[in-house]
Amino acid sequence: MQQVYLGTTGLAVSELCLGTMTFGGAADRDTSRAIVERFRAAGGTFFDTADVYTGGRSETILGELLGDDRDDVVIATKAFGAMGEGPNDRSNSRRHLVRAVDESLRRLDTDWIDLYQLHRWDPTTPIDETLSTLEDLVRSGKVLHVGVSNWLGWQIERGVRLQEAAGYDRFVALQPQYSLVERRIELETLPAAAANGMGVLAWSPLAAGFLTGKYERGQSAEGQGRFAEWVDGMPEQGWDTLDAVRDAAKSLDAEPAAVAISWLLAKPDVIPIVGATRPDQLDATLAACDLDLDGETVRVLDDVSAPDRGYPYDFGAVEGRPPRD
Ligand SMILES: NC(=O)c1ccc[n+]([C@@H]2O[C@H](COP(=O)([O-])OP(=O)(O)OC[C@H]3O[C@@H](n4cnc5c(N)ncnc54)[C@H](OP(=O)(O)O)[C@@H]3O)[C@@H](O)[C@H]2O)c1
């Protein structure tokens, strides 16, 4: 696995990030240990978690498992979600974030968080309050970089412009859902992240396992795991995309999961956050690092999975002038 930089920062991370949402839930401690060992053995150094994952157990288990390796790895975590019953036990408010970061540091058993992400946009807290709090956390050394997750394009733009005007450290990364069956962020959110030099951490790059090819069109996924309802609601375009992924995998003698992850790896500044409930599931996703998709395969996958570009996105071209990225 190669090392790359997170966006325009000097922070070197592995080209795949390991998502730990399953730790302490679908993956018990021993299984989590085997997943981390498999990822580390392949050269992985980048880990994503959140305070809300499995009620804090994900952070605790990750901290325990990384142990003495802390200096050799990069940890991203998040705050916003409810960690208690009260109105101040959630949100991007100063009161909540100041406490949340200390709780995450304690659970992760570390003195610093490499990337601290706002898990969601918070319409209940003035953004200036959130941004000045994040700046204080950076200045205190508890947090090295800040990022956002699930934000819209205008929210990113507003946040970064305000940080710039105040002389604060800017958001360096965006964590959106992004895969061959969820590309709507390409319309608005990704251009905002790119314009601000932010790295992109793609969550659910396999669409929670759908792109491994383990589900079949026309057959209910009921009783087949955590995402059955979501798979049963998959639009036809998703199944057509899966067919194209399977075709590409067959011709490349690869697993569909490797093709799906490789498609993301080919995009500039995108780091897939791969998840697993068992260590052997990583075999297919890690193989993506050795798979280079040719231009024609990428074009076929791009075409079949393209999001609908209605108004005003279809007003982009200027007739009589060459396109400019
Ligand atoms: N920021 C956010 O709001 C947000 C939201 C969600 C996730 N995330 C982050 O993204 C990470 C990854 O999300 P994700 O788990 O949805 O990612 P994913 O890589 O799309 O899906 C991983 C899941 O797919 C299944 N799978 C993976 N490889 C497989 C294989 N070879 N064969 C069969 N099944 C396989 C497993 O689920 P089963 O075995 O249960 O089917 C596994 O847990 C999370 O851990 C978290 O760090 C962030």
Domain extent listing, the chain: 3-214+257-294
Helix, strand, or coil (residue 221):
coil
Q: What is the pLDDT of residue 280?
A: 96
Contacts of 217 (CB under 8 A, 6+ apart): 239, 242
Burial category of 3 from C-beta neighbours within 10 Å (exposed 0-12, middle 13-18, buried 19 and up): exposed
Q: Rounded to two decimals, what is the model's pTM?
A: 0.96
Which range has the worst mean pLDDT, 67-81, 98-112, 207-221? 207-221
> What is the H or E stretch that residue 115 is in?
strand 113-118
Quick check: bond before 312 cis, omega within 30?
A: yes
Instruction: Kindly calculate the radius of gyration of the chain based on its CA atoms and give it in whole angstroms.
Output: 20
Say yes or no to pLDDT of 324 above 80. Answer: no
Distance CA 149, CA 176 (A): 6
Distance CA 307, CA 311 (A): 13
Best residue for ligand 1 mutational test, from 203, 216, 245, 255 (most atoms within 8 Å of Cβ): 203
For residue 109, the number of C-alpha atoms closer than 13 Å in the C-beta half-sphere is 13
Q: 99 CA to middle of ligand 1, Å?
A: 28
Q: Residues with beta carbon inside 6 Å of ligand 1?
A: 19-22, 26, 48, 149-150, 175, 203-209, 212, 214, 225-226, 257, 273-277, 281, 284-285
**β 3-5/12-14 pair status:** antiparallel
Q: What is the pLDDT of residue 325?
A: 67
**Ligand 1 atom with the shortest distance to the CA of 176:** 1
The CATH fold assigned to 3-214+257-294 is TIM Barrel (3.20.20)
Asked if 53 is an active-site residue, the reply is yes
Q: 91 CA to middle of ligand 1, Å?
A: 25
% of the chain at pLDDT higher than 90 = 90
Which pLDDT tens digit goes with each residue over 188-219?
999 999 999 999 999 999 998 999 999 999 88
